[in-house]
Amino acid sequence: MPSSPAPAGGPRRLTRTLYRYAFLDEFVLLYPVYALLFSDTGLSVWQISSLFALWSLTGVVLEVPSGALADGTSRRRLLVLAPLLTATGFALWVLLPSYASFAVGFVLWGAGGALGSGTLEALVYEELQRLGAADRYAGIMGRARACGLVAVMAAMALAGPVFAGGGYLAVGAASVLTCLLAAATATRLPEHRGPAAGVRGWTATLRAGLAEARDDRSVRGALLLVPAVTSVFEALDEYTPLLVRDTGVADRTVPWLLLLVWAGATAGGLLAGPGSRLGSRGLAALLAGAACALALGAASGSPAGLVGIAAAFGGFQLAVVLADARLQRRLTDSRRATLTSVAGLGSSLTTVAVYAGYGALATAAGHAAAFTWGAAPYLLTAALLARAGRRPRPSRHARNESPEAARETQRKAHRRATAPPCPPKSPDRTV
């Protein structure tokens, strides 16, 4: 498989391209208005809900197969293809607005999201590992996520003026252009794969990845940690505007207060570099503190409590990046994207369950109560992490071993422990 020439400036080329890609991937002016497009086309609430369900189902079905595909082919090529699929869907929406076009567009968008999920993380980690900078992964991905959040806020700010000037067609054209720029940017991502990459089919890669998760306790734990810290946070994010409005502020004030919350999440992503030094106990303390800030901020029922929500979202965003970094350190290169996608699938399924629980709780007790109870899973996760942090730590040499070397060390130790004892030497009968 062809690869790019080695970058001369260390990870600089990688990070600059990554930050541009992360920004363009989220700088979509259709985000704030596509629900209005559906409604203005004449779709009912039930039809709009069915589109969202189709979008989620597409991601769930394609998440793990796309990760296995990324372990068997060029990851950069998939990252180029992903925004092209999304651009095609957006073009269908604004050129042929109908329920069928919206459905096809969501399938294409979901497929593009599945192709990128796990693929980008695997490519970035392996390139940093090749450059001897794998310890910078958390900080770099934290800044990339911050770039995405800034892009969302910028898109929301620009969508209004662009929509006022040219309607849905102008907003859609700008969104398609952004996706095309993201695809062009992805072609600049460096990629160096080993000679065995791409030889096996994706089904064989998937089986091998699941076997690795089954046999390695540390991989299983890291896989479970990702949905534990991601799902509730991502679900609550969708309901934040309703929580803000319930504090009694005017509707025109809601977007400005949402900027405060998103600024907190952005700050959390930017702190991923220093936060990468946190061990299990440190991560447990971070989750516990963020959970308390969430509960206190939501329970206050006042605009001032949104400061606590912003702090909580910053802590959760940081924890998401650190959980991903912890997972990447435990995976082998040949199955990295596969198992990252397995973690993404777990997050998606758990988020759907959180949606259902939130709907029932908010209907009965209100949004403030639902947000307050959202702190409970994080407190439980923090307790489990703190308990794991009390176990004896491996030696420095063991912590620095690659996953393959660590497993080989374990196999050698097992062979030594189970080998039959050597027979005693016969006495020397030489006279």
428 vs 69: CA distance, rounded Å = 63
pLDDT of residue 87: 97
Pick from 21-30, 293-302, 346-355, 383-392: least confident: 383-392
CA-CA-CA-CA dihedral for 220, 221, 225, 228, to nearest 10:
80
**Average pLDDT, rounded, for the chain:** 81
Pick from 44-53, 78-87, 121-130, 397-406: least confident: 397-406
Name the residue with higher pLDDT: 390 or 80: 80
Q: Is the pLDDT of residue 231 over 80?
A: yes
Q: Is the pLDDT of residue 303 over 80?
A: yes
Region 249-267: mean pLDDT is 83
Q: What's the half-sphere exposure (Cβ side, CA atoms, 13 Å) at 100?
A: 1
Q: Is the pLDDT of residue 431 over 50?
A: no
**pLDDT band with cut points at 50, 70 and 90 for residue 426:** very low
Name the residue with higher pLDDT: 291 or 427: 291
**pLDDT band with cut points at 50, 70 and 90 for residue 325:** confident
Q: CATH fold of 216-388, please? A: Growth Hormone; Chain: A; (1.20.1250)
Q: Is the pLDDT of residue 2 over 50?
A: no
Query: Cβ(70)–Cβ(110) under 8 Å?
Result: no
pLDDT tens-digit series, residues 83-131:
999 999 999 999 999 999 999 999 999 999 989 888 888 898 888 888 8
Beta-carbon neighbour count of residue 429 at 10 Å? 5
Name the residue with higher pLDDT: 133 or 214: 133
pLDDT of residue 400: 45
Region 237-243: mean pLDDT is 82
322 vs 136: CA distance, rounded Å = 11
Residue of 177, 145, 175, 131 lying closest to 32 (CA atoms):
175
Q: Is the pLDDT of residue 318 over 80?
A: yes
Region 25-46: mean pLDDT is 84
Name the residue with higher pLDDT: 365 or 184: 184
Residue-wise DSSP of 109-126:
HHHHHHHHTTHHHHHHHH
Q: Domain residue spans in the chain?
A: 10-189, 216-388
Q: Is the pLDDT of residue 411 over 70?
A: no
**pLDDT band with cut points at 50, 70 and 90 for residue 371:** very high
**pLDDT band with cut points at 50, 70 and 90 for residue 388:** confident
Q: At what angle do helices 99-116 and 75-95 cross, to 10 degrees?
A: 160
Pick from 154-158, 171-175, 203-207, 264-268: least confident: 203-207
pLDDT of residue 409: 52
What is the CATH class of 10-189? mainly alpha
pLDDT of residue 97: 93
Residues 6+ apart with CB under 8 A from 255: 156
Q: Is the pLDDT of residue 206 over 70?
A: no
Q: Is the pLDDT of residue 27 over 90?
A: yes
95 vs 120: CA distance, rounded Å = 30
